[in-house]
Chains A and B, each alone.
Chain A
Amino acid sequence: MDLNATDTRVRIEAFLRAVAKADAVRVTRLERMSGGAVQENWALDAEVTGGAHTGAQQWVLRTDAKARVELSLRRSEEFRILQVAHAAGLQAPRPLWLCQEPDVTGREFFVMQRLPGTAGGHRLTRDAALIPDRTRLARELAVNLARLHAIKPPHPGLNFLKTTLARDDIADYRACLDRMREPHPALEWGLRWCELNAPRDEETTFIHRDYRTGNYLVHDGWLAGVLDWEFAAFGNPLEDIGWIFAKCWRFAGKHLPAGGIAEAADFLAPYQQESGRTVTAKALVYWQVMAHARWAMIALQQAERHRSGVEPSLELALTGRIVAELEHEIMALTR
């Protein structure tokens, strides 16, 4: 989608002028940002005259990419999640305005504050200069996650979220496998193991479900904000910990369990302290198996988007070949 078509840009400016209660808004830059196969993020710079936002503004316009991943939320829902997250004092971009008028760009979008920093997982795990104090960043991530998990259902602002505990996840992933053209015995093995080892009792909190290296911004070595809230749900908080610990999200830092940036204890100790929750070694393994299974489901879906012709893409095609790594890790973790 090209938001820079003159008509579209004029409509975006008119929308912004109305919601910002400004006299005039001039968009000076509107450029697709890298990343986001599922959503498109556009860097939006604007000159605002009048109202509370007067001056030069740096925002992000977030909208759906061509094909939605079936598991992801709508933009209007993500907008409401950001409002809740921001109100709870979590590290996240401040949501500004939601546009549900199809006449503006043709798709739902919202505008949020643009935070500074680097998010790229490969860069953050490779370039030591970006994170001078790894223990400190791990602590920030852990404490922020503990606070995120302090949000509990029922929540008036989040009544649209589904609840998904371990057994629901297993059922979801099996349903996903049933929609695929080929069978995947190693993934079935992992899910059967998850079923046999499922926790007897589970806590239910707000969970992010994509809280990992690659989805947070680091600015001057500090955590600047957590991005990509489109998979959020109510569920077992340990799922988020298994996700950020999973080997598939460690990028170049394979030997550093906490997101490829820090040792396990650097993350777990502050998390346990802030949340009052104990993360056992067994739970950590369990939710890492789940993490690899879940990423495998997403990878299969992405490969299918390419194979089906819906969205021919080399990146999506290669994602299909990541599944072997995830299966390999599942086999190792369940030994």
Chain B
Amino acid sequence: MNDRPDAAELLEIARRTLLDQMLPRLPQDLRYSALMIANAMVIAARERAGGDADASAELARLQTFYDAPQQALAGRALAEALIEYNRRLAADIRAGRCDDRAGLRDHLERATADKLRVSNPQALKN
């Protein structure tokens, strides 16, 4: 087990240092880069804080959608299973095989909202 501060705490203080101490003293042409770095750091922090929760919920919904047995996975296996299910779903949507499937819109809205809560939670409020 690593010592504290942990990854999230390090990212947070690194970001605060960038924004509070460095940004005010950066020349104009580097401000945008600094803001992008801060944004990348906060996205990474949110992604890490969320862990596998969103991905697990997405997999559970997809298993329900496809009448597959509920099987909990983690880490790499979870990511691979999701890619596989989503590949199948993408093909089914394109072919019009689920035009009338109840629950599809809800599933996609939730998956999209979950991603947005990580990449840009502000956009969810608009």
Count chain A residues whose beta carbon lies closer than 8 angstroms to a beta carbon of B: 26
Q: Is the CB of B26 closer than 8 A to any CB of chain A?
A: no
Q: Is the CB of A9 closer than 8 A to any CB of chain B?
A: no
The chain B residue sitting closest to A315, CB to CB, is B36
Distance of B114 from chain A, by nearest CB (Å): 9
Give the distance in Å from the alpha carbon of A115 to the alpha carbon of B122 in the complex.
35
Give the distance in Å from the alpha carbon of A335 to the alpha carbon of B108 in the complex.
12
Distance of B85 from chain A, by nearest CB (Å): 9
B interface secondary structure, majority: helix
Q: Is the CB of A67 closer than 8 A to any CB of chain B?
A: no
Contact A185 B36 (CB under 8 A): no
The chain B residue sitting closest to A196, CB to CB, is B99
Q: Which of B47-102 contact A (CB under 8 A)?
A: 83, 86-87, 89-91, 93-94, 96, 99
Contact B40 A314 (CB under 8 A): yes
Contact B112 A182 (CB under 8 A): no
Count chain B residues whose beta carbon lies closer than 8 angstroms to a beta carbon of A: 31
**Chain B 10-47: CB-based contact to A (< 8 A → 1; otherwise 0):** 00000000000000000000000100110110010000
- Which residues of chain B are within 8 angstroms of A80 by Cβ–Cβ distance? none
A-B contacts at CB below 8 angstroms, number: 76
The chain A residue sitting closest to B86, CB to CB, is A183
Give the distance in Å from the alpha carbon of A79 to the alpha carbon of B67 in the complex.
56
The chain B residue sitting closest to A195, CB to CB, is B96
Contact B116 A325 (CB under 8 A): yes
* Among A156-164, A186-194, A276-284, the stretch in contact with B: A186-194
Give the distance in Å from the alpha carbon of A191 to the alpha carbon of B95 in the complex.
11
Contact B119 A192 (CB under 8 A): no
Contact B43 A321 (CB under 8 A): yes
Distance of A180 from chain B, by nearest CB (Å): 10
Q: Is the CB of B124 closer than 8 A to any CB of chain A?
A: yes
Contact A331 B36 (CB under 8 A): no
Contact B94 A174 (CB under 8 A): yes
Contact B126 A254 (CB under 8 A): yes
- Which residues of chain B are within 8 angstroms of A324 by Cβ–Cβ distance? 112, 115-116, 118-120, 123
Contact A188 B93 (CB under 8 A): yes
- Which residues of chain A are within 8 angstroms of B8 by Cβ–Cβ distance? none
Interface residues of A (CB under 8 A from B): 174, 177, 182-186, 188-189, 191-192, 196, 247, 254, 314-315, 317-318, 321-322, 324-325, 327-328, 331, 335
A-B contact pairs, 28 of them (CB 8 A): A177-B90, A183-B86, A183-B89, A183-B91, A184-B86, A185-B90, A185-B111, A186-B112, A188-B89, A188-B93, A189-B104, A192-B99, A247-B126, A254-B126, A314-B33, A318-B36, A318-B40, A318-B43, A324-B112, A324-B116, A324-B118, A324-B123, A325-B116, A327-B108, A327-B112, A327-B115, A331-B105, A331-B108
Shortest Cβ-Cβ A-B pairs, 4 listed? A324-B115, A183-B90, A321-B119, A188-B93
